Structure 1
Amino acid sequence: MDDIAAETANAPASSDEPIKVLCVDDDPDYLDLIAAHLSDHDDLSVRTETAPAEALAHVDAVDCVVSDYEMPGTNGLEFLSDVRARAPTLPFVLFTGSERAAIAEEVPDSTWTEFLRKNSPATTMSILAGRIRRLVHHHRTMRTAERSLTAIEATGDAVAVVDPDGAFSFVNRVFASRFGADPDDLVGRPWRECFPDEEVERLESTALETVRDDWQWTGGTVCETDGGDTFTAQTRVAGLDDGSLVFCLTGAGEE
């Protein structure tokens, strides 16, 4: 168990390969501006397209898509929907002149989607590069972790990964079964819902503080199902480089 947790927690967050970015905008002048600014960064490789329909043919070969919001024939949300049909977790940055709140409700899953307003290029392009790196870094970390966790599915260990926002992004069947649920029932939900309030407070003040100091934490915990039943488990919490957490439960039994 310790070896598996260590392998997952210490998995490389990203490769040394350049980040391949596909930029889509019907304004060729602004598209050239984006490409020029992003290409100044050695770790970013940029491809441009003015037509969303043609851009779709390249989404499988890139690490991130940057798209204008207002385009003739289709808007950025429609293009995002088309991209998600081909690549559900591909990082996507949507350029918009609107407030994020005005369009965010139309995005079914914003885990891999960022919104950025078109302001002064001097500031916007630097922010854009940072958004791209953060999304791709997180995406690569999760892909590496999921490859490690595939092997865990064949073991008796109960393992779940929590994204930096505090929601489960991966839950194996053993972990879910401890809570009388299916993995899909827990993915997307806050990890705190699996523990009584007082236990959440203890974990936040002990386990998470230990993990933030680059250590792993192990201790007994009280877990709680949706039905209110509780059980105890020996719990290991480890951190990934992007701020995600790995929870491993052993020795669980009903109270």
Structure 2
Amino acid sequence: MLKSTAVVPEPPVRTRPTQIRLLVVGRECDAIDRAFDDETEVTVESVPTLESARPRFDDIDCLVVQSPTTAANGTEDRGESGERTDDTTRDTPTDNGSAGDVADRLETIRTDAPELPVVVLADELTLALTRTVRSDGWTAIVERDETLALFPDRVHDLLERRRLTTLARRSLASVEFAGDAIAIVDPDGDVQFASRSFAMQFGSDRDALTGTPWRALFTDAAVSHLESAALPTVAEGWRWTGSCTGRRQTGATFPARVRLGGLEDDSLVFAVDESKGSDGLEE
């Protein structure tokens, strides 16, 4: 039988920057500038193309790009300057076409800046476009009609996640010296960072472990228990401790003591120690 304990959570601390540097590819600068409150000093600049934005990635906090403007119901497709373009006679772009254009832009951005926060402004949140954005962990999407209401929160969420990620990396670097077996799992459920000791316990190396679903590291019964007992506890702001059975890459299992906590961006922190002389989880 599994035993678990919960620890009273510490009050969360969320830090919002007082200065933000935004670079917009195309127009929309005025609406974006008006979206932020007076407590945030926002610098908004624009460039005509993504290519002209690339040399400035290191100097900004967030990049704003736009999905292709949909020309529907007799409206004209206008270029980034707001003027009618030569392409207004084209058929309305399909959902997949718009998503593909955004995917191409993100691929270009990630070549130079893998973790630069990006916000996509779209006429409509189509399923294809939403999936494209969600596949990139550092991108959010906002409908143009909701720019004033939602845009600041999307930017702050991305910047907070980047701050927490930086802190997590520093923490992992420090625990390497102590030999602690710790991993950070992103909100999608995949290992984002792992200490050397953590990777060794699961018969892997750190690079190979990155991107692995955390559920692949435990037996089915252990996963079921973590999902039913540990995750709800963490979601309420507590830390959870219990016994589980881990699974190495070879398929071999081992009894483990697991400590589980959460970060403000819904990432998880796993600390796993092999329990010598214990049978672990009864399956």
Q: Same fold (TM over 0.5)?
A: yes
CA RMSD of aligned residues (A): 3.0
Largest Rg, 1 or 2: 2
Unaligned runs of 5+ in 2: 1-6, 69-78, 81-100
Counterpart in 1 of 2:228? 205
Deviation for aligned residue 1:192: 1.4
Q: 1:251: which partner in 2?
A: 274
Which residue matches 2:46? 49
Label 1:207 to 1:39 Cα distance change in 2 as closer, same or farther (>3 A).
Answer: closer
Change (3 A) 1:14 1:146: farther
Aligned residue for 1:116, secondary structure, equals: strand
Equivalent residue number for residue 86 of structure 1: 112
Q: CA deviation at 1:53?
A: 3.1
Residue among 95, 112, 122 paired with 2:121: 95
Partner of 2:22: 21
Change in CA separation of 1:179 and 1:24 when aligned onto 2, cut-off 3 Å: same
Give yes or no for the alignment of 1:236 onto 2:259. Answer: yes
For structure 1, which runs of at least 5 residues remain unmatched after alignment? Answer: 1-5
SS in 2 for 1:47: strand
1:62 to 60, 63, 66: 60
Amino acid at match of 1:19: I
Deviation track 1:180-239 (CA, whole Å, cap 9, x = no partner) reads: 122222222321121112211211222223323332222221111243211011111122
Alpha-carbon contact 2:254-2:274 (below 8 Å) kept: no
Deviation at 1:49, TM superposition (A): 1.1
CA distance in 2, matches of 1:16, 1:175: 33
Question: Does the 8 Å contact 1:14/1:141 carry over to 2?
Answer: no
Deviation digits for residues 129-163 of structure 1 (CA, Å, limit 9, x no counterpart): 22112111111111111111111122321110012
Give, as a single letter, the amino acid of the residue that structure 1 aligns with 2:47.
T
Q: Does 1:162 align with 2:162?
A: no
Q: Distance in 1 between matches of 2:233 and 2:164?
A: 21
Determine what percentage of the aligned residue pairs are the same residue: 33
What SS class does the counterpart of residue 89 from structure 1 fall into? coil
User: 1:169: how far off?
Assistant: 1.3
Residues 127 and 41 from structure 1, CA distance in 2 versus in 1: closer, same or farther, beyond 3 angstroms? farther
